[in-house]
Chain A
Amino acid sequence: MKLASLVCVAIGLCATSHAFAQEERGRDGQVNIIYWQAPSILNPYLSGGTKDTQAASLILEPLARYNENGELTPWLAESIPTVENGGVAEDLTSITWVIKEGLLWSDGTPVTSEDAVFTAQYCMNPEGGCAQLKNFGGVSTVEAVDERTVKINFEAATPFPYGPLVGLQSPLIQKAQFQECLGPKAPECTTENFGPIGTGPFVVEEFRPNDVITLVANDNFREDGKPAFAKVNFKGGGDAAAAGRAVMETGEFDYAWNLQLAPDVIANMEKGGKGTSIAAFGTLVERIMLNQTNPDPSLSADERSVIGPHPSLSDPAVYQALSLAIDRPLLVEIGYGQAGKVTCNLVPAPEAYASTSFTCDKQDMDAANKLLDDAGWAMGADGVRVKDGVRLSYLYQSSTNAVRQDFQALIKQWWSEIGVESELRNISGSVFFGGDPGSPDTFQKFYADVEMYANEFDGTDPQSYLGQYTCDKAPRPDTQWQGENISRFCSDDFDTLYKQLERTAEASERHQISKELNDMIVSNGALIPLVHRGRVSGKSNTLGGVILSTWDSELWNAADWYRIK
């Protein structure tokens, strides 16, 4: 009920939604949802893909999830445990959740703490290949205290204990259904993985992998009169443009996920009059990573992204000039429109963690040129600056995506105006983001001077995200090129300060340290942040109750959706 009132306030549709709330479940017929990437499986523990976890969120639910403002909201639990209310131990080594009373699985059996314990076992099984293991990081044991109480014990003090069983990635699964599917048997349970029994508003009727899911309303859903829709037709496949067209121009579908399209294309689709686009912001930042090592192709394969420093990018004048030459507001206008904001930070949100040290919304060619002149980079005859035989000539790679290629072309031109030459390369996403150690084109190997992509963090706590920039996280040949410190940024001061963050529990202090870490990364030239990207989705004008959230599944409140008549 708390949630319902919260939704009310947020969308100001209290009168209508309350009026309907008393009506019967399934009164509004069918809702059509299109995801242009089709879901392959409905078990979020076996696939980390966004499309799969979001589709599963219609069926499976966690103890608590994030609302549209990034605030933790109790979902299957009665309340959020904190140190103040005694739910989190004083020494931060355990957290105790209490499941709501009278909660039923869609097959009519009660939800108990045993199910929560089983979910943890399922994911933490060493042979299962669980995709959400990160959420269970540092967990030592999970125990059922009584029917409805679960206690999660951590190996060490954990300032942020809301990983396990919280959010989009780690919902509860039913013990009775999955108990034969532990560890190596997990992939063999096709029926279970395609039709998990959950507590959510909908139940799978038919699942066709990579194509379409048919769902019907859950008769045992905990709230009366919800969901308003009796049936969900969840179609997958195609491309973003087609999905947008189907919602906003032909009106065949009610909701389209993630419309990564140029702003003027979306604006034109809205003229169709059948739907509108909605946007929300999370933590996703489009950035240019600057290589801190020497990617010279004449070095041997194993040396080229290990040996530093970079011959020219290590000069502060160079990376500052590269950043000054970029007109970020224009990038936003061309690439993302209402779904983008200028950012100068690695951590752009939540607000408490976002640093305000830098401004970067003005392109300043003169200042950039002056910086380079002063640092001794003299303009050569071919329009490219040189110093001690080192030319400012960069290989600039990115994944294949229309907006990224436009950005590459624009930035190449701007850089050429300050005497920096660039060769562009785009690589298929399945190779670029794949970690194949045999391929020279992965973003981890970084066989280029600069590369552009986007990254974000789950939930609202940036600790592990900032932790990617410690020296030991650099991808190296001996780690099979796995590692998250893509630019090979390495600073002792940073590592020390990060260790301090790991030990700090007090909120305002954590905010302060996180901001300092963010500033260190950006001002030392590990990356050039470009755009804080939001998520744009499309919704039909006749679909009510949609609140877009980027902190959790986009379908997090599908139980409240209804048909506007």
Chain B
Amino acid sequence: MLTYTLRRLLTSIPTLLFIALTIFLLLELAPGDPMAQVPLTVPPEVKEKMRLALGLGEPAYIRFWKWLVQFFWVEPLNFIDWLFNTSFAAEKQRVISWQTRSPVMDIVVQRMPQTLWVVGMSYIVGILIAIPIGIYSAYRQYSVFDQVGTFVTMVGFSIPPFFSGVLVIVVFSIFLGWFPSIYDTTHQVTDWDSFVVQLKQMIMPVMVLALQTTAQISRFMRASMLDNLNQDYVRTVRAKGLSETVVVLSHVLRNSLIPVVTVIALGVPAIFGGAIITEQVFKVNGIGQLLITAIQANDLPMVQTLTFIFAILIVFFNLVADLLYGILDPRIRYD
């Protein structure tokens, strides 16, 4: 297991470099121009000068190399500086966003709290709701609970957030006036009252997002449980006289978790990726909104950095999922 982990970690370095290159080439090839959002009243000569000032005059391979150096060398140095108050990175050019002309990582750090609060919370809530629903739906297949659960989760999944988000705003903000329709990212939680305010502004986006997570995970959980409930080992365990709770929760559940773990692990990087549409609807302005505005503005350093951070998370969590397979099912061996 240990050698496997080490080998995977080692192979992930070239993988990630290759991914970085692919993303870079993709962004190079994609049509679009950082000047797209500059008004038409600005003459083309001025736009050309602005492009040169962004460094677009240099050949692609030099820009890629610069980005690599900035991301893998200057940014970690900056992190060390920040940790220990040193100044290794002084005067070194960091990864600079074209839209804001400020270091990309600073903005990412600024966006992290609301992203984790809202998207992370919705993921946890979603999983916590989904797993019991999935287990019980499978255990009592075709019962009323199962039918209703299936119906609600499928309707939840098939309604896109650009619609359900606006719907809850219309109902809860406009008609009932319970919750604010716009998320205040500057709000600080200091006491009970401010915590209630935070809770109120989080509840709608969290619910909308959790609905999607719940739908997906509970479907996989139910399907996987159903597969296992009919296996011979369940009959054996039951025959040994173990209680139903033990049978279901410790034997069947454990064996059913493999596809579910995959889905959950695949979803974790997406937490950091934020939720583009939901963030937009509720104006949460987290990482998802950052990425989509950067894509719309063709802010290549920002898009490249953000997608690459996601790539690192994806590779990492897929490794975690693979390791978890081995723990959940000792028969799976990788060597």
Task: Please report A residues at the B interface, Cβ cutoff 8 Å.
Answer: 34, 38, 40-41, 43, 46-50, 126-134, 184, 186-188, 190, 193-194, 206, 208-212, 214, 233, 235-239, 241-242, 245-246, 249-250, 252-253, 272, 429-436, 438-442, 455-458, 464, 479-480, 482-484
Indicate the member of A126, A241, A438, A441 with the most B CB atoms within 10 Å: A438
CB–CB A46/B101 < 8 A: yes
Complex CA gap A86/B68 in Å reads: 58
Complex CA gap A209/B100 in Å reads: 7
What residue of chain B has the Cβ atom nearest to residue A39's Cβ?
B100
Residues on the B chain within 8 Å of A439, using CB: 31-32
Complex CA gap A208/B102 in Å reads: 11
Complex CA gap A190/B103 in Å reads: 8
Complex CA gap A236/B284 in Å reads: 10
Residues on the B chain within 8 Å of A128, using CB: 53
Residues on the A chain within 8 Å of B297, using CB: 40, 430
What residue of chain B has the Cβ atom nearest to residue A432's Cβ?
B36
B287 to chain A, nearest CB (A): 11
Indicate the member of B31, B33, B285, B296 with the most A CB atoms within 10 Å: B31
CB < 8 Å A-B pair total: 192
List CB contacts (< 8 Å) of B106-157 with chain A.
106-107, 110-111
Segment at the interface with A among B75-83, B173-181, B234-242 = B173-181
Complex CA gap A456/B173 in Å reads: 37
B254 interfacial contact with A, CB 8 Å: no
Q: Which of B33, B49, B101, B110 contacts A187 (CB 8 A)?
A: B101
Complex CA gap A482/B35 in Å reads: 12
B185 interfacial contact with A, CB 8 Å: yes
B161 to chain A, nearest CB (A): 13
Q: Which of B53, B111, B289 contacts A186 (CB 8 A)?
A: B53
Given contacts A210-B99, A238-B280, A482-B44, contact A252 B182 (CB under 8 A): yes
Residues on the A chain within 8 Å of B48, using CB: 480, 482
Indicate the member of A193, A245, A440 with the most B CB atoms within 10 Å: A245
B42 interfacial contact with A, CB 8 Å: yes
Q: Number of residues in B with C-beta < 8 Å to the partner?
A: 59
Residues on the B chain within 8 Å of A480, using CB: 48
B39 interfacial contact with A, CB 8 Å: yes
CB–CB A242/B182 < 8 A: yes
Given contacts A50-B39, A211-B285, contact A272 B174 (CB under 8 A): yes
Indicate the member of B32, B49, B110, B180 with the most A CB atoms within 10 Å: B32
CB–CB A238/B182 < 8 A: yes
A407 to chain B, nearest CB (A): 18
CB–CB A47/B99 < 8 A: yes
CB–CB B173/A250 < 8 A: yes
Complex CA gap A457/B283 in Å reads: 32
Q: Mark B13-51, 1 if CB is under 8 A from A, else 0.
A: 000000000000000010111111111111111111111
Q: Which of A134, A433, A438 contacts B43 (CB 8 A)?
A: A134
Residues on the B chain within 8 Å of A130, using CB: 46, 49-50
Residues on the B chain within 8 Å of A429, using CB: 36, 296
Residues on the A chain within 8 Å of B93, using CB: 188
List 10 other contacts, CB 8 Å, given A237-B280, A436-B33.
Answer: A134-B41, A190-B102, A193-B102, A206-B186, A233-B186, A235-B182, A235-B283, A241-B166, A242-B166, A431-B31
B63 to chain A, nearest CB (A): 15
CB–CB B169/A190 < 8 A: no
- A–B pairs, 6, beta carbons within 8 Å: A48-B39, A126-B49, A209-B100, A212-B285, A249-B173, A253-B182
Given contacts A187-B96, A210-B285, contact A245 B169 (CB under 8 A): yes
Residues on the B chain within 8 Å of A431, using CB: 31-32, 36
B281 interfacial contact with A, CB 8 Å: yes
Residues on the B chain within 8 Å of A48, using CB: 37-39, 42, 50
Residues on the A chain within 8 Å of B209, using CB: none
Q: Which of B31, B177, B181, B295 contacts A438 (CB 8 A)?
A: B31
CB–CB B285/A237 < 8 A: yes
Residues on the B chain within 8 Å of A246, using CB: 181-182
User: 9 shortest A-B CB distances, which residue pairs?
Assistant: A129-B53, A439-B31, A434-B33, A434-B36, A482-B44, A48-B38, A187-B101, A209-B100, A40-B99
Complex CA gap A82/B174 in Å reads: 53
CB–CB A245/B174 < 8 A: yes
Complex CA gap A430/B96 in Å reads: 20
CB–CB B289/A129 < 8 A: no
Complex CA gap A206/B31 in Å reads: 34
CB–CB B47/A482 < 8 A: yes
Given contacts A48-B38, A457-B41, contact A127 B182 (CB under 8 A): no
Q: Which of A190, A241, A435 contacts B44 (CB 8 A)?
A: A435
Residues on the B chain within 8 Å of A238, using CB: 182, 280-281, 283
Given contacts A127-B53, A434-B31, A436-B32, contact A193 B37 (CB under 8 A): no
Residues on the B chain within 8 Å of A456, using CB: 40-41
CB–CB A41/B182 < 8 A: no
Complex CA gap A464/B290 in Å reads: 36
A430 to chain B, nearest CB (A): 5
What residue of chain B has the Cβ atom nearest to residue A46's Cβ?
B101
CB–CB B181/A250 < 8 A: yes
Residues on the B chain within 8 Å of A253, using CB: 182
CB–CB B186/A131 < 8 A: no
Q: Mark B46-88, 1 if CB is under 8 A from A, else 0.
A: 1111111110000000000000000000000000000000000
Residues on the A chain within 8 Å of B290, using CB: 210
Residues on the B chain within 8 Å of A440, using CB: 31
CB–CB A210/B180 < 8 A: no
Given contacts A49-B37, A210-B99, A431-B36, contact A134 B46 (CB under 8 A): yes
Residues on the A chain within 8 Å of B212, using CB: none
Complex CA gap A346/B46 in Å reads: 23
Complex CA gap A439/B29 in Å reads: 9
Complex CA gap A484/B47 in Å reads: 12
What residue of chain A has the Cβ atom nearest to residue B111's Cβ?
A211
List CB contacts (< 8 Å) of B255-286 with chain A.
280-281, 283, 285
A179 to chain B, nearest CB (A): 17
CB–CB B36/A484 < 8 A: no
What residue of chain B has the Cβ atom nearest to residue A253's Cβ?
B182
CB–CB A436/B280 < 8 A: no
Residues on the A chain within 8 Å of B102, using CB: 41, 190, 193-194, 209
What residue of chain B has the Cβ atom nearest to residue A486's Cβ?
B40
What residue of chain B has the Cβ atom nearest to residue A137's Cβ?
B43
What residue of chain A has the Cβ atom nearest to residue B296's Cβ?
A430
Residues on the A chain within 8 Å of B166, using CB: 241-242
Residues on the A chain within 8 Å of B36, using CB: 429-435
Complex CA gap A237/B285 in Å reads: 7
CB–CB A38/B293 < 8 A: yes
Residues on the B chain within 8 Å of A237, using CB: 280, 283, 285, 289, 293
Residues on the A chain within 8 Å of B51, using CB: 129
Complex CA gap A186/B101 in Å reads: 9
Given contacts A129-B50, A134-B42, A237-B285, contact A190 B101 (CB under 8 A): yes
Given contacts A187-B53, A435-B35, A484-B44, contact A252 B181 (CB under 8 A): yes
What residue of chain B has the Cβ atom nearest to residue A191's Cβ?
B102
Complex CA gap A442/B184 in Å reads: 37
CB–CB A430/B37 < 8 A: yes
Complex CA gap A209/B293 in Å reads: 11
CB–CB B100/A40 < 8 A: yes
B224 interfacial contact with A, CB 8 Å: no
